[in-house]
């Protein structure tokens, strides 16, 4: 689904298709087999990026403050800002907007960031599993 949503941004901005694609799959190279320290780097990165950097900042701090400026549209503005934070993946910007909408609305409705923390935690599990498969050599 992300591929379909992402390709829509190419209609007004076709030059984005020529940019290099940054994916976790590009890191799956044999040179990382046995580099077990990468698991700890990935874990620390996930904690600081997902929990502190994204969920706490965007949904925990900014979303409640944005209500004063954007009113009932605060969750939409927060999702657009969240997508702009992911500018390094321009083809997926629309997917980040829609994902941000899906995560902001429950956070706003229930006034708790735990919904988005749990969803991002599930993403972290898959990322750590991918790093483990590369480091252990199971990916090759």
pLDDT digits (tens, 9 = 90+) for 96-111: 999 899 889 899 989 9
Does some domain include residue 21? Answer: no
DSSP string, the chain: -HHHHHHHTTTT-GGGGGSPP--GGGG--GGGTT-THHHHHHHHHHIIIIIIIIIIIIIIIIHHHHHHHHGGGHHHHHHHHHHHHTTTSGGGHHHHHHHHHHHHHHHHHHT-SHHHHHHHHHHHHHHHHHHHHHHHTTT-
Mind listing the pLDDT tens digit for each residue in 55-72? Answer: 999 999 999 999 999 999
Does some domain include residue 8? Answer: no
Does some domain include residue 52? Answer: yes
Does some domain include residue 13? Answer: no
* Residue ranges making up the domain that contains 98: 27-136
Q: Torsion angle of alpha carbons 69, 75, 79, 81, nearest 10°?
A: 10
Q: How confident is the model at residue 1 (pLDDT cuts 50, 70, 90)?
A: very low
pTM for this one?
0.77
What percent of the chain lies above the pLDDT cut of 90?
46
What percent of the chain lies above the pLDDT cut of 70?
94
Number of domains comprising the chain: 1
Does some domain include residue 98? Answer: yes
């Amino acid at each position: 689904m992300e591929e379909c949503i992402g390709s829509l941004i190419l209609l007004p901005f076709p030059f984005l298709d020529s940019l290099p694609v940054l994916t976790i799959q590009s890191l799956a190279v044999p040179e990382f087999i046995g580099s077990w320290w990468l698991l700890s780097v990935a874990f620390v990165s996930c904690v600081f990026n997902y929990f502190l950097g994204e969920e706490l900042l965007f949904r925990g701090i900014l979303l409640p403050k944005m209500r004063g400026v954007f009113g009932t549209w605060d969750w939409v503005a927060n999702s657009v800002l969240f997508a702009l934070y992911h500018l390094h993946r321009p083809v997926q910007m629309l997917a980040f907007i829609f994902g941000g909408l899906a995560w902001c609305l429950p956070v706003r409705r229930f006034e708790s960031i735990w919904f988005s923390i749990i969803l991002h935690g599930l993403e972290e599990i898959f990322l750590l599993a991918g790093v483990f498969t590369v480091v252990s050599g199971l990916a090759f």
